[in-house]
Structure 1
Amino acid sequence: MLGVVAGVCTGYVVQAGREPDPLPPLAQQKVGQAKDTKAPVALSAAEDHRVKTDGDLRKLLVPRPAGTQKSGGVQGWVDQYGYAGDYKEPGRMFADLSDDSFRRSAVTEWKKGQSTTEVHLIQFRDTEKLSSRNFLSGQLTYMSDSEWAGNGGEPVPGSSNARVYVFDHPRTEAGYLPLYEARALGARGDIVMDLWFFDTKPIPKKTAMALAKRQLERL
């Protein structure tokens, strides 16, 4: 056995002392560098979506229309507790936002006569999963229930996921005027838009649709 091992070692020594055999011609051909190649051009701030969405989220909120006044509600930043507090089950919503990697939220509100409009932008950390789409899907799921809009809504042109819902029936309570509602939901990038419309008279679908399109264009 020792002789076999010694013979193998000797073979390695001899091989090591030889000049390497030339490679086939094809393998020896040099690959030339492409001529006139230009270095990649960095995207401008206007072209880079992350520059826009990682900045001040409040600046992406659609501007308050002329002829309207600020409402008495919250304006600007809203933390996770504040956003969840607007729901019927705030504890459950807070937990859902945590599961969906809530990042931050901003809101603007305005009124005109008896009508009030709320615009919410909710941003998520879409790193390990598409949390923004998961949250949007959860909100869209129950909108067709009779307790809510009572219909399937209408898609917003130019978006693959946004929908506008005009509620079939107003909410009524003795001693109060009827409350008509509409809602628009959609997502672009890691941001979900959530628009609410309230009025004491029916809300035209075109009004909600126009604002939803304007807000999506800013994302």
Structure 2
Amino acid sequence: MEVEEPGGATRGRRRGRTTLLIAAATVLGVVAGTCAGYLIQADRDPTPLPSLSQPTLAQATGPAPEPLSAAQDRRVKTDGDLRKLLLKKPAGAKGADWLGDDDRWLDLASYAELYEDPAGALSDQLGDDFRRAATTGWASGDKEVTIRLIQYRQEESLVAADEASDGQYWADKEASTRSWAIPGTGDGKAYVHDKPDTEFGYLPIYGAEAYAWRGDVVMEIRVWDTKPLTKKTIIDLAERQMERL
């Protein structure tokens, strides 16, 4: 119940005298119990503490373990020549003219030029601690393939995973697109775009792409053809390339 004060203000109900007496008795009981506890403890013998010394552990004997081989330690491979991890050009295919010189290294500026906004891509890649990239490609009939491996320093975050996810995001946004998981990659994905790019005077161009990552390396694959591309084409390329990382 609340009492109306002059001027329209209200105030809460006051505590009664009985409540204050009970509170005072409770405080006195706590104080008395505490004092009694100290007196009982004072009459007891002190409890001995456990020894601070610990038993000496026996040193393992035998030869030191052998270092991991390149097949077991992937850093041995990815810290070496990144170009050696790229898929080899298939027999009968010709080298890609669009790759320019044959050293297959792709510097940061050249990689940024592959984006619709090169200046923005350059800034983003610098912020993501771009380390290096290697590329290869070939043409077989009307089909063209480009593969890129991009490596990051990853001193503060898993940039490679984010970069692969970003590629997947944009691939998913294209109309008439089918996608599949790349076996053995966890979250790698491959895409086939069933709607071709068309331009007057030219044959329609169909596309497929794949994105995955392992450790600090991102894999990007792009395929173009004048005929519709299949799931098998892009999945096979992606699986074989990821097996080399």
Q: Which runs of 5+ in 2 are unaligned?
A: 1-47
Q: How much has 1:47 moved relative to structure 2?
A: 2.0
- Determine if the alignment matches structure 1 residue 104 to structure 2 residue 132: yes
Which residue in the other structure is 1:73 paired with? 98
**Alpha carbons 1:143, 1:150 under 8 Å: kept:** no
| Residue 140 of structure 1: how far off its partner (Å) | 1.4
Q: Does 65-74 or 189-198 show the bigger shift?
A: 65-74
How much has 1:127 moved relative to structure 2? 1.6
CA contact (8 A) 2:190 2:210 kept: yes
Dislocated runs of 4+, deviation >6 Å: 23-29
Instruction: Provide the residue aligned with 2:214 in structure 1.
Output: 188
Task: Name the CA distance, whole Å, in 2 between partners of 1:171 and 1:180.
Answer: 6
Deviation of 1:51 after TM superposition, in Å, equals 1.1
Aligned partners of 1:117 and 1:196 also within 8 Å: yes
- Over 3 Å counting, the alpha-carbon distance change for 1:180 and 1:41 in structure 2 is same
Match among 141, 153, 163 for residue 179 of structure 2: 153
Please name the residue that 1:42 is paired with.
67
Deviations 1:182-218 (A, max 9, x none): 0011001110010000010111110110010000000
Q: Could you say what secondary structure the match of 1:195 adopts?
A: strand
TM-score, length of structure 2 as denominator length:
0.74
Larger radius of gyration: 2
TM-score, normalised to structure 1's length? 0.82
Aligned position for 1:177: 203
Give the equivalent residue in structure 1 for 2:44. Answer: none
Q: Distance in 2 between matches of 1:92 and 1:28?
A: 61
Alpha-carbon distance in 2 for matches of 1:188, 1:84: 21
- Structure 1: which 5+ runs fail to align? 1-22
Q: Does 1:130 align with 2:158?
A: yes
The alpha-carbon deviation at position 45 of structure 1 amounts to 3.0
| 1:211 maps to 2:216 | no
State the 1:31 CA deviation.
2.5
Identity of aligned residues (%): 42
